[in-house]
Chains A and B, each alone.
Chain A
Amino acid sequence: MKTIDAYGISCPEPLIMLKNALTHEKEILLLLDSKCAIENCTAYARKKGYTVKITTDDNDKDKYKIHITVTK
């Protein structure tokens, strides 16, 4: 599984990182903390047919972990 650490990275860069990674990865853990990036990235992954699971960091509720996998 590939981890993309996009904490503190502003739109549209996280989505570009995700888009590039999705071309060759089946499972991605995307680390985000901006509402804009979270909405854009999850919407993009869902639109492309991936399963998206969102959790937050135990220590910091503003840090989100977006788990993106290929839908079986």
Chain B
Amino acid sequence: MQTKTNNIFEKIKWPLIGGIIATISAILVLLGNPANMGFCTACFLRDTTGALGLHNAAQVQYARPEIIGIILGAFIISLAKKEFAPKGGSAPITRFILGFAVMIGALIFLGCPLRMVLRIAGGDLNAIVGLFGFIAGIIGGCFFLKKGYTLKRTYNISKTDGFILPIAAISLLAVLLIAPSILFLSTTGPGSMHAPIIIALVAGLIIGIIGFASRLCFVAGIRDSILFKNFSMLGAFIAIIIVGIILNVALGKFALGFEGQPIAHTDGLWNFLGMALVGLGSTLLGGCPFRQLVLAGGGNSDSIIAVFGMITGAAFAHNFQMASSAAGVTGHGQIGLTIAFAIVILIAIFNTFGKKKTTGGTP
């Protein structure tokens, strides 16, 4: 009986998770988040970067409680499941650069893979173009993985190392609640649009817990379908799209088309290339931006470094006008994406063919 229940749970697990994420996203949009942006790891990290004054794009500055919640949710569940095991040391600087590049790609497309799926559910056809790019990037990453790409071993490190990010998240939450005036907070634009703090925080906690416990990853779902013919996680993506469409239609927020989509542009080539870079870079990192953030909360310092890379990438993207807007892609963005793509491909080549396949000594 026990196994039968387990089997049924295994079957409905991913669609259920997708449904929960779509529902929480719809609630957040209803309560104030920007359209088709109930959740977006890249956008929210970028907004938080702005709130800390690391970039000065006045329209996208807000300390997103969702980010704080995801970190803390993953942290709490990792402790509860006795899986809180700080690890690190697997090519940290390479991971920083990959995180940086992934953020450039995401801000040219305008969304992480999670928001891409939510955009599709909102009827934004530009996100379908992005999806094709994303899949192409993952196929490219799988090519290198099959050829032996590795960032080598990770090692157990001091437990204290894993507490730093959750403490930083709690500190940021305290500042947002007690002294928000010291943060840079948008008064217009997407950064000014947000659900109430406590609701956004709880939403983040729930998704952080689900994300850590299930290992949901928007790259892994597609990557494992390609590498191992394991399609189960795709159930979550499909459920987000189906439940998202139903909720968007019910709430009158569904609009099918390319033009006039919320916080999106219609430049197909750069939508494709932006998400292709996200797909490739994330595959080389071992997980999408959301997954990196969840692992970071669970104490994985390799992922924390990747998140720092994303934060730095977000700052550069806005300080040097590389990020896209509803008006379209910028010239700087096109140059930045091209350079980032070249660097990521070189990282892939050097870590696949550049050394002997035997990995370092025993940990």
Contacts and interface: CB of A to CB of B under 8 A. Distances in A.
Interface in A1-31: 5, 7-13, 15-16, 19
Nearest to B219: A12
A12 B153 contact: no
B271 interface: no
Interface string B74-95: 0000000001010100100000
Contact of A15 (B87, B150, B228, B362): B228
A48 B153 CA distance: 27
A8 B362 CA distance: 9
Given A7-B153, A36-B215, A12 B90 contact: no
Contacts of B154: 8-10
- Place the interface of chain B in its size category: 20 to 34
A18 to B, nearest CB: 10
A16 B224 CA distance: 10
A9 B227 contact: no
Given A35-B83, A36-B215, A62-B85, A12 B223 contact: yes
A23 to B, nearest CB: 13
B155 interface: yes
B362 A7 contact: yes
Interface residues of A, number: 16
Contacts of A10: 90, 151, 154, 286, 302
B155 A8 contact: yes
B153 A16 contact: no
A5 B228 contact: no
Contacts of B230: 44
Interface in A21-72: 33, 35-36, 44, 62
A13 B150 contact: yes
B362 A5 contact: yes
Interface string B82-122: 01010100100000000000000000000000000000000
Given A5-B362, A36-B215, A44-B228, A11 B286 contact: yes
A11 B227 CA distance: 12
Given A9-B153, A9-B359, A16 B215 contact: no
17 contacts: A8-B87, A8-B90, A8-B153, A8-B154, A9-B153, A9-B359, A10-B151, A10-B154, A10-B286, A11-B220, A11-B286, A12-B145, A12-B223, A12-B224, A13-B145, A16-B145, A19-B227
Interface of A: 5, 7-13, 15-16, 19, 33, 35-36, 44, 62
Given A5-B359, A7-B153, A12-B228, 4 more contacts: A5-B362, A8-B87, A10-B286, A35-B83
